Amino acid sequence: MHQKYRRAAGILAVVVLLLLMLPPASIVATSWCSRWRAQQLLACAREFHPGITSEAQALKTLSPFNRYISHGEESYAGHASVRRDSYLISNYPKWPERIAQHLPDWVNRHIWFLPWTDFSVSPRFERNQLVLLSIAEAQENRGNAHPYVANVTILSTQTEHDLPETPDNFTGFHTAAYEQGEFDGDGKQIGPTWIIREYVTLDERATPAEFNQSLAFRFACLTSLFGCRDARRLLPIGQREEIEHHPSF
């Protein structure tokens, strides 16, 4: 009789252990799958050329990622809102979002153990032609007020009929970074600075080397347990034409 109780207790312990391991295992597995799918999505985006690629061609190439479509709209002053979908891959499954609001805070702190990271490709079409492509990777770390972001905008200044999203004095390739650091009460910097956001803009005048480095996204942050607390870990752009400095609060 005692042997049966011990066996039942052992089986129960194994079942409980498996149930406890299942949620984090699901999240880790999803993050690695998302990392692989993000690499594939980027490979598709590299085939696009705003001003040349047709809408039908772009949508056909992106069709394997239709499950990741996030519907949205964008608008400009004096222009009607237009639909603009994004293909967004995150490193979390759907179930944490569905149950998070029903769980106490201390449970949620353990469920969301990976820094939330996503990768997105957002095309803009005009007159059945691709005229702009936004590619971005972003990560939210616990304790940071703002996410770390690397955003690349590829456009065709020759064919886009709406307001081109270009920096001042744009000549075909432009980079901008927002740097942050900690300072003491006397304004003296404490430790090194880091990049919180970086933006890249290029059009048909960019060189192949500039195009390649602009799409050199790294996806290790999708599976990183400790997070990537520098935008250069998302996209290591070496040349930066503009840097703005922001204190850390």
196 sits in which H/E element: strand 189-202
> What is the tens place of the pLDDT at every residue in 153-169?
998 877 655 556 678 88
**Terminal-residue alpha carbon distance, the chain:** 64
Segment among 4-8, 59-63, 148-152 with least mean pLDDT: 4-8
CA separation for the pair 214, 235 (Å, rounded): 8
- CA–CA distance, 90 with 61 (Å, rounded to integer): 20
Segment 134-144 mean pLDDT: 88
Q: Does 40 score more than 90 pLDDT?
A: yes
DSSP string, 163-227: -----TT--SEEEEEEEEEEE-TTS-EEEEEEEEEEEEEE-TTS-HHHHHHHT----GGGS-SS-
* pLDDT in the model for residue 46: 94
Domain count, the chain: 1
The domain of 118 spans 2-247
Mean pLDDT of 39-60: 94
Least confident span in 67-71, 112-116, 236-240: 236-240
Q: Which tokens sit at 66?
A: 């239709």
Mean pLDDT for 204-230 is 92
Q: Over pLDDT 70: what percentage of the chain?
A: 73
Summarize pLDDT for 108-138 with one digit per residue, the tens.
Answer: 666 778 899 999 999 998 889 998 999 999 9
Q: Highest mean pLDDT: which of 175-184, 202-211, 236-245? A: 202-211
- Distance (Å, whole) CA 58 – CA 41: 12
